[in-house]
Amino acid sequence: MKELDNPYKQLLDLNKSMAGSAGIQAMAKLGKIVSPPPNLVVSVDGMPITKAFIWLDEYWLQGHERHTKGHLVSATQNRAGGGGYAEFASHNHDIDNDYTENIIMTDTWHVGDTVLLIPIVGQDNKTVEQYAVLCKLVRLDGVY
| pLDDT 10s digits, 14-49 | 777 666 555 555 689 999 999 998 899 999 989 999
Q: Are the beta carbons of 112 and 32 closer than 8 angstroms?
A: yes
For residue 82, what pLDDT is reported?
63
Q: Are the beta carbons of 133 and 56 closer than 8 angstroms?
A: yes
3-state helix, strand, coil in the chain (%, to 5): 15, 40, 40
Instruction: Name which of 57, 25, 30, 33 is nearest 132 in CA terms.
Output: 57
pTM: 0.59
- Position with higher pLDDT, 25 vs 133: 133
Q: CA–CA separation, 67 vs 65, rounded Å?
A: 7
* For residue 79, pLDDT beyond 90: no
Instruction: For residue 14, report the phi and psi dihedrals to the nearest 5 degrees.
Output: -65, -45
Instruction: For residue 12, report the phi and psi dihedrals to the nearest 5 degrees.
Output: -65, -40
Residue 132: pLDDT band by 50, 70, 90 thresholds? very high
Q: CA–CA separation, 44 vs 29, rounded Å?
A: 7
Please give the CATH architecture assigned to the domain spanning 7-64+106-137. Beta Barrel (2.40)
- State the average pLDDT for the chain: 81
* For residue 138, pLDDT beyond 60: yes
